[in-house]
Amino acid sequence: MKNLNLLFGTILVVGLIAADRVLKVFATDMDYSFFNGFIELVYRQNTGIAFSIPIPVWASILITASLIGFGLVFVFRNFDFGNKLAIFAIALVLAGALGNMYDRIFLGYVVDYISIWKWPVFNFADMCIFCGALIIGVKFDKITSGKK
């Protein structure tokens, strides 16, 4: 069962990264406004990290790679790979992180395109990270293996 869940997780990560890439390609031509500007689809190049905090690209790549590495070590030590919700949450976070890291490495910035009210502009990969982290935060005791 764990092997099937890991296969599901791998396919999900690849699919989410592909969806992220496609959306970012289409984002280059976006300039739409909904609900009197409350929600906008606008193309932005984010050279910073979370919330567009300015930081050199090499530093953001190093930080992202470190967080992915430490996160994977934590996951492999603590999570129950027989639990589909755990696999789903991990896949969301990993796909989002890898999708944004791809942009940083190959473009030198992250493509953002969703703007809601006064919130910083974000993208599909950011939503994946947020939703996966939310699941992990809320269901942590249900998705870990109890290993110490």
Annotated catalytic residue, options 29, 103, 126, 141:
126
State yes or no: is 126 an active-site residue. yes
Torsion of CA 107, 113, 115, 121, to 10 degrees: -10
Annotated catalytic residue, options 29, 31, 112, 141:
112
CA dist list (Å): 135 to 7, 29, 64, 86: 20, 32, 20, 8
State yes or no: is 31 an active-site residue. no
3-state secondary structure at position 88? helix
Q: Which residues are catalytic?
A: 112, 126
